[in-house]
Structure 1
């Protein structure tokens, strides 16, 4: 399967460099480039890509606003790009619905890996960062919302609820497999079922849902 990608950045050299790196992968295709947020939204609507690389700071419409539109209208995964490693930017990206966050000085192999990660439905944040951010903002009642009620969790099996609860702790698939004494393949199946049954975009939204519904409590391990 070919992963279709749109690259949006107002700096031509950055945009061209990222596109060249990604297009060099046999299973990637950069279907469009965009110079600002408006062009990025238009490109996603026109080309229906799987992944959008989106700079946070752009003219006309910034990346956060563009991400919100793209995530609301499509199933495209959004990776936010920035030169600043600050919690506020990460939080704004999550709130807009983005699946990941990268610094612009990312290494070539990490850029390629990032696209593969979000395409597979994974969260592009280290587990510790995910846990810290979500716990921080949900504990103050101002976190990103997936508008999920506790009653919706009734559609999950006991094993799927356990999986969701552990996701909220920021565990990787390997750590989940060890904790649940199952294979990583089984873990992936449980995670996929959780996302599908609850209508969630990716693991980041699953973490948010676990806190929002009270299944997980900020500041605890279970």
Structure 2
């Protein structure tokens, strides 16, 4: 569910969000190159899912009423950890859950079960913080098998560094909105491209739970500008910016 639209002024094809925003898959296709886009066609991008089902039923397709899939097709029962374990067995080794202040506050059965921003399922009892404030995963040290936890404020980031970028726009700097996870709302940012296949995103407002390894996909309106893979995040506070 994505659209390819021809820009009559430039003569170039553009990648844009699907009409049905609830099914839009543009986040996952940011790496589509201009050469590929010139040949690709996305016939479902201009339809809602209801219209797609109507046509499927009219054509007698057996899956016309099949429930929507919410998981990756090759991951049985949504068990992502087992798939990662087969590829990277070392990611399943047990280790410590460590507070930002250095205290070991628990143990875990593999960093594959955690992601930055996670709050539930940490398996940490009460009394870790003075007021029993909730703790979040704020970092993962895969080399030492440590899961780092801390308060929500520690998740705030307003600078995002991305690599292995693919761009469908030639401007070196521009204002965009950026999706930092597939299901999050796009946030306003200033995009600055670099010559080494990397780029930096300066977010208008700090975001929480930005995780290295996720894609950062940039948009100008509904048009996909491109994106890259998050490898580092920073926070610049107002006083520092001034």
Calculate the TM-score normalised by the size of structure 1.
Answer: 0.27
Greater helix fraction, Structure 1 or Structure 2: 1
Q: Which one has more relative contact order, counting CA pairs under 8 Å at least 6 apart?
A: 2
Calculate the TM-score normalised by the size of structure 2.
Answer: 0.26
